[in-house]
């Protein structure tokens, strides 16, 4: 069964799988930051992540002979990518709000801000 774990993988293929995952996560992070940098809203992050999920499915298909059209694995890919793209979006948007509107807002964490008292 082609899935999350493969019995026939060699050491090189494991390294390649990890590299593909890291590139996907990094791309999702950068996509979230790019959306925030353009002052677009969160639905744009979701749309870009859905498209990136298709790209990741193709990479799994082309490099590892995994299933290309598999709703289960597509949802897993999109959920994992959405975590990274949302984190990138929120960190960038928090920095934007705290830096550009320093008289109105202050950072409360890496992902949120609040109005100054």
pLDDT at position 1, please?
39
Residues in Cβ contact with 1 at an 8 Å cutoff, skipping those fewer than 6 apart = none
* CA dihedral of residues 110, 84, 89, 87 (deg, nearest 10): -20
- Has residue 55 been placed in a domain? yes
How many structural domains comprise the chain?
A: 1
Q: What is the pTM of this model?
A: 0.84
- Has residue 21 been placed in a domain? yes
- Has residue 74 been placed in a domain? yes
- Has residue 4 been placed in a domain? no
- Has residue 112 been placed in a domain? no
- Has residue 108 been placed in a domain? no
pLDDT at position 2, please?
52
List the domain range (segments joined by +) for residue 66.
11-90
pLDDT at position 29, please?
97
* Residue 104 DSSP code: T
pLDDT at position 107, please?
92
pLDDT at position 17, please?
85
Q: CB of 2 within 8 A of CB of 17? A: no
- 41 in helix, strand or coil? coil
Residues of the chain with confidence (pLDDT) below 70: 1-9
- Has residue 37 been placed in a domain? yes
- Has residue 98 been placed in a domain? no
């Amino acid at each position: 069964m082609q899935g999350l774990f493969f019995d026939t993988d060699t050491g090189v293929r494991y390294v390649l799988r990890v590299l593909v995952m890291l590139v996907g996560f990094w791309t999702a992070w950068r996509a979230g930051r790019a959306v925030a940098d353009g002052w677009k809203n969160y639905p744009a992050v979701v749309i870009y992540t859905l498209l990136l999920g298709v790209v990741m499915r193709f990479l799994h298909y082309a490099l590892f002979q995994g299933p290309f059209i598999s709703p289960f694995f597509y949802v897993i890919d999109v959920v994992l990518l959405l975590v990274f793209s949302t984190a990138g979006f929120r960190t960038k948007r928090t920095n934007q709000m705290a830096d550009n509107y320093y008289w109105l807002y202050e950072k409360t964490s890496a992902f949120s801000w609040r109005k100054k008292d």
